[in-house]
């Protein structure tokens, strides 16, 4: 979200620190640090989840394109600044937002992956506050307090932002000093309870489904929101296991006390109950789990999570979503998928020690085949140099030893 100049300053500072042996003991080249793209964040989350669920590596052997994998899962991530969706499209028919993920020797997955900047939960809250504060007002006449139906009854909170709404969409106001203009107001709800319908109406405007006119024309209605192409969502089947919802989705499910695997109908019902609470009721429901700053946002967070899934991505009310944080003992997120992808691109080498079979490896998933070949060649050399009359049995033994090492 930083402008290119500030972004470069931050990254260059990271590069300087980590490449300076006075401060860092890591092996570090300057190209090791960069800002990943939104599509990378989406695909890495997908790769990490499918890896821990055991559905990534099984279909990644060999070369070519992954066709008809036994089982895959889609992923949904709701972070602070952005939101991601990724899924494998079985018919290979992806017109945009295609990421070719290479894992293994030479196999690639064709995965739909897209990231929506400013659709993370924190920036959605920021845009929501800007909407109620500035919609229909000028820069100079923003009220000192505004009614916010996404708060519980009797709740108020201070709000500061640089985002304005003009003609129905977000914008920035640049001052004479060249900086974004900041304003302050107070978000209040002086009603007895929150208002689910009122909050949903605001959130629906934030999702910008009305921006899909061109996408619907160009892609025959295969669109999600904000004018973004999205192929039809896969339905649950023998080869598709469902969508995993990560990060803030998990926090919402957890706070609402609904099962990790829940339908959108269950999510909506629990959200409606939450938003019908007064501030006092909300505190009782919370029971000390969240601090006050996070607690007051939970009606909005829940409404936004539901509407993003339903109005945004197009899930149906009876579709089940599984919210997850840890799967099979592993923290699931884009960092795990990034490690898998980067390791797969690292070089590896075989270094003999004293003409034996000890090896030093920098390897990826496919390195086993290269190491096996190298060991066979070296084994044959050693056999015929020292004991040529026992060649066959010694080769057989050396392959067995090497093949057991990766395990």
Q: Are residues 148 and 229 in the same domain?
A: no
The pLDDT of residue 218 is 97
- Position 338 in a domain: yes
Q: Are residues 214 and 304 in the same domain?
A: yes
Q: Are residues 284 and 299 in the same domain?
A: yes
pLDDT beyond 90 at 347: no
Calpha distance 133→389 (Å, rounded): 88
- Position 127 in a domain: no
- Position 128 in a domain: no
Q: Are residues 256 and 139 in the same domain?
A: no
DSSP state of 222: -
The pLDDT of residue 342 is 84
- Of 189-203, 294-308, 372-386, the one with minimum mean pLDDT is 372-386
Selected residue with higher pLDDT from 33 and 277:
277
The pLDDT of residue 380 is 41
Collapsing DSSP to helix, strand or coil, 283 comes out as: helix
Please say which residue of 169, 191, 213 terminates a domain: 191
pLDDT bracket for residue 139 (50, 70, 90): low
The pLDDT of residue 63 is 85
- Position 306 in a domain: yes
Q: Are residues 112 and 213 in the same domain?
A: yes
pLDDT beyond 50 at 138: yes
Q: Are residues 169 and 297 in the same domain?
A: no
Tokens of 257: 């006390």
Q: Are residues 280 and 216 in the same domain?
A: yes
Selected residue with higher pLDDT from 89 and 322:
322
pLDDT digits (tens, 9 = 90+) for 74-102: 999 999 999 999 999 888 889 999 999 98
Q: Are residues 175 and 222 in the same domain?
A: no
Arithmetic mean of pLDDT, 233-238: 85
- Position 56 in a domain: yes
Q: Are residues 26 and 174 in the same domain?
A: no
The pLDDT of residue 392 is 31
Arithmetic mean of pLDDT, 151-165: 95
- Position 248 in a domain: yes
**Structural domains counted in the chain:** 4
The pLDDT of residue 367 is 47
pLDDT beyond 60 at 153: yes
Please say which residue of 327, 342, 357 terminates a domain: 342
pTM of the full predicted structure? 0.83
Q: Are residues 43 and 31 in the same domain?
A: no
- Position 125 in a domain: no
Selected residue with higher pLDDT from 187 and 21:
187
Arithmetic mean of pLDDT, 148-172: 94
The pLDDT of residue 364 is 43
* Bridge-based pairing state of the strands 320-323 and 240-247: parallel
Arithmetic mean of pLDDT, 288-304: 97
- Position 196 in a domain: no
pLDDT digits (tens, 9 = 90+) for 10-47: 999 999 999 888 888 888 887 888 899 999 999 999 99
pLDDT beyond 80 at 219: yes
Containing domain of residue 366, as a range?
347-404
- Of 164-178, 206-220, 245-259, the one with minimum mean pLDDT is 164-178
The pLDDT of residue 237 is 82
If we measure between CA atoms, which residue out of 113, 111, 112, 114 comes closest to residue 66?
A: 111
The pLDDT of residue 403 is 32
pLDDT beyond 70 at 379: no
The pLDDT of residue 204 is 97
Q: What are the helix and strand counts (H, E) for the chain?
A: 13, 15
Q: Are residues 79 and 227 in the same domain?
A: yes
Q: Are residues 212 and 296 in the same domain?
A: yes
- Assign residue 43 the CATH number of its domain: 3.30.420.150
Return mean pLDDT, the chain.
85
Contacts of 157 (CB under 8 A, 6+ apart): 151, 186, 187, 293, 296
% of the chain exceeding 90 in pLDDT: 64
Please say which residue of 321, 342, 363 terminates a domain: 342
- Of 119-133, 169-183, 262-276, 301-315, the one with minimum mean pLDDT is 169-183
82-97 burial code (b ≥16 CB/10 A, e <16):
bbbbbbbbeeeebeeb
Question: ∠ CA 144-150-152 to the nearest 5 degrees?
Answer: 95
The pLDDT of residue 245 is 97
Calpha distance 58→72 (Å, rounded): 11
């Amino acid at each position: 979200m930083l402008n290119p100049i500030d972004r470069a300053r931050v990254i260059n500072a990271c590069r300087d620190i980590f490449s300076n042996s006075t401060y860092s003991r890591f092996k570090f080249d300057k190209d090791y640090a960069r800002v990943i793209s939104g599509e990378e964040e989406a695909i890495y989350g997908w790769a990490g989840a499918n890896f821990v669920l055991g559905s990534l590596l099984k279909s990644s052997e060999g070369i070519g394109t992954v066709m008809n994998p036994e089982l895959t899962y889609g992923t949904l991530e709701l972070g602070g600044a952005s939101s991601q969706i990724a899924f494998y499209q079985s018919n290979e028919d992806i017109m945009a937002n295609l990421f070719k993920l290479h894992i293994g020797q030479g196999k690639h997955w064709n995965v739909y992956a897209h990231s929506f900047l400013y659709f993370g939960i924190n920036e959605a809250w920021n845009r929501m506050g800007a909407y109620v504060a500035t919609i229909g007002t000028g820069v100079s006449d923003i009220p000192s307090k505004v009614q916010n139906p996404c708060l519980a009854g009797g709740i108020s909170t201070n709000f500061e932002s640089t985002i304005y709404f003009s003609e129905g969409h977000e914008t920035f106001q640049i001052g004479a000093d060249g900086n974004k203009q900041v304003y302050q107001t107070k978000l209040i709800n002086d009603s007895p309870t929150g208002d689910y319908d009122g909050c949903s109406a605001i959130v629906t405007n934030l999702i910008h489904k009305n921006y899909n006119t061109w996408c619907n024309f160009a892609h025959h209605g295969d669109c999600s929101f904000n004018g973004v192409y999205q192929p039809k969502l896969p339905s649950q089947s023998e080869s598709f296991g469902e969508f995993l919802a990560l990060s803030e989705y998990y926090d919402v499910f957890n706070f609402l006390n609904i099962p990790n695997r829940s339908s959108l109908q269950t999510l909506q019902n629990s959200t409606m109950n939450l938003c019908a609470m007064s501030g006092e009721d909300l505190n009782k429901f919370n029971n000390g789990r969240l601090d006050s700053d996070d607690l007051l946002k939970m009606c909005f967070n829940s409404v936004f999570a539901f509407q993003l899934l339903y109005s945004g991505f197009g899930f149906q009310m009876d579709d089940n979503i599984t919210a997850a944080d840890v799967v099979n003992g592993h923290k699931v997120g884009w960092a795990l998928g990034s490690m898998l992808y980067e390791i797969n691109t690292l070089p590896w080498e075989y270094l003999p020690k004293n003409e034996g079979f000890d090896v030093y490896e920098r390897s990826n998933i496919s390195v086993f085949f290269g190491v096996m070949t190298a060991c066979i060649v070296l084994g044959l050399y050693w056999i015929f140099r020292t004991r040529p009359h026992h060649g066959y049995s010694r080769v057989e033994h050396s392959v067995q030893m090497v093949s057991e090492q990766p395990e």
